[in-house]
Structures are given as structure tokens and as C-alpha cells.
Amino acid sequence: MTSHLKIGISACFMYPDPNRVAFNKKTLQYVEQSVPHWVMSGGALPVMIINPSGDTFRGLITVNDYAQWLDGLVLHGGADVWPGSYQETPLKEAWNGDKHRDEYEIALVKAFVAQGKPVFGICRGMQLINVAFGGTLYQDIPSMVNTDQEHRHSDRYDQNFHQLEIVEGSRLDQLLAGHPKEKINSVHHQAVKDLAPNFTIEARCPNDKIVEAIRHTGDAWVAGVQWHPEFHKSEYGTLNDEPLLKDFLAAAEKRKNA
């Protein structure tokens, strides 16, 4: 039997909603299927990590159990990060984010890093990583950054694109050498403001310098990108993200075999 790497995918949350037809009084945990499919394209087995918090388990199951069992962690996109997670007050009610999910994902990041296992963040996931390590965010790019670049377009959604400016000599630059296409999707209205300590910027949007990729500079394998590699398709003429996935999975394999 083939032994696949087991990669944890953090869950998104839907809370009770009387207007929802199914399970309208229940909290739902889910993943958008493109992320686990992207992980599977590298030969790994994706596992959705159910949030174990609550009175039912009383600490019998924790995020540490997942971090010990799984080989790596992917944080994917979704709701805004709650500004309180980086000691700010929401400037608008619409930007309140998801405090509950923040707490769960920050705990996951810390648990996996403590186990020496790699963590990769996508979009919100990169923002969450920055916050988890002490950085801050722009709550809303259009109202807080002087830019004409549309980083999110509701109709174009994952087909809203712009170019990528990669920092020369960075790990991302090394990974993408020989991959000249640098067009990426852009599906976000929040972004890194103050970079977390012990992190470096690996890519920016060339039009307004919004941070597009970050990486931890210490022993921990922690990295994130603002775009969605799982949404890229060859027919879009976008960046080939396969080297990013391979690098993440190679780190997971190395830690597994250590």
C-alpha cells in the first residue's frame, strides 16, 4: 500500500443562519474543493481538520493531536481576519471577520510549527500567518491604500489577474526560475500591512507594492502567497504553481523521514 503524505486543510465555518435551507440551526465546517484537489495533484492525501474546540470533548481532542498525526498544514482562503487578532478595532462592521476561525487557525499554526512541520497559507491563510506571528493587515485595500489596482472583482472573481513582482534571490525566485509566466489571480480586499518579525517579503504587486508572498526566515518552514494557486489553469496563461506545491510537500516528506 502506498504511503501518502497526510496534509491537513484548515476548515472554513458557516454559522447558524435561518435563511439557509439545510442545517440552518447548525454550524458547518467545510473546505472549498479546489484546495484539496491541488494538494492531491502532488500525490498527497488531504485531510480536513475539524475544529476540536467546545465543551463536548473537554480537551480530549486538541489541535496538537492533528499536528502530531499529519505531515503538514495548508490554510486556505475565506472570511476576513478579525482585526482584534492584531489588536485593532474593525473600521466597518462588514470587516469584522471571523474571530472564531482566527483562534482555531492560529492554534493550528502554532501546533504544527512546534512539531517542526511545514505550514503553507493561501490568501487569507497568508494573512493569518502574518497575524499569528505578530504582523498586521490593511482591513480594506481600496479605502486604505492609494492604488488603482483592483485586487478583488466580484464578477471576474478568480479570473481577475495582475502581474507579479518576485524579489530577486528569494526562495520563491529560486523555485520559479524557468517559469516565466508571472500573471496571478487576485481575490482579496485585505493585505499585509506590517510584516511579522522573522519574515521576509518574496513578492509584491508591481502596481502598488501590495505584499503577495511571505516566508519565515528562521528554522520553521512557514510560507504563504496572496493569490490562489489552486485556481490557476494553463489556459489562463497564469503562473505555474507546481514548484510551490512540490517544495511544500518536499519539506513535509523531509520532516516525516527525519
**Which of 116, 121, 124 is closest to 221 using CA atoms?**
116
CA–CA dist 192, 139 (Å, integer): 9
Cα 165 from chain centroid?
19
DSSP state, 230? Answer: G
Q: What is the pLDDT of residues 98-141, one digit of tens each?
A: 999 999 999 999 999 999 999 999 999 999 999 999 999 999 99
Q: Given the C-alpha cell 490562489, which residue does it identify?
A: 228
Q: Is the pTM of this model over 0.85?
A: yes
* H-run or E-run covering 137: strand 137-138
Environment class of 258 (CB within 10 Å of its CB; exposed 0-12, middle 13-18, buried 19+) = exposed
Which amino acids are annotated catalytic?
Answer: 123, 228, 230
CA–CA dist 216, 74 (Å, integer): 15
pLDDT band, residue 90 (cuts 50/70/90): very high
Tell me the three cell numbers of residue 51: 475544529
Domain boundaries, the chain: 6-256
The answer to whether 250 and 242 are in contact (CB under 8 A) is no
Apex CA 87: angle with CA 192 and CA 107, to 5°?
Answer: 80
The answer to whether 27 and 14 are in contact (CB under 8 A) is yes
The answer to whether 179 and 239 are in contact (CB under 8 A) is yes
Q: What is the pLDDT of residues 31-88, one digit of tens each?
A: 999 999 999 999 999 999 999 876 566 678 899 999 999 999 999 999 999 999 999 9
Q: Per the CATH hierarchy, to which homologous superfamily does domain 6-256 belong?
A: Class I glutamine amidotransferase (GATase) domain (3.40.50.880)
Q: What is the pLDDT of residues 2-43, one digit of tens each?
A: 689 999 999 999 999 999 999 999 999 999 999 999 999 999
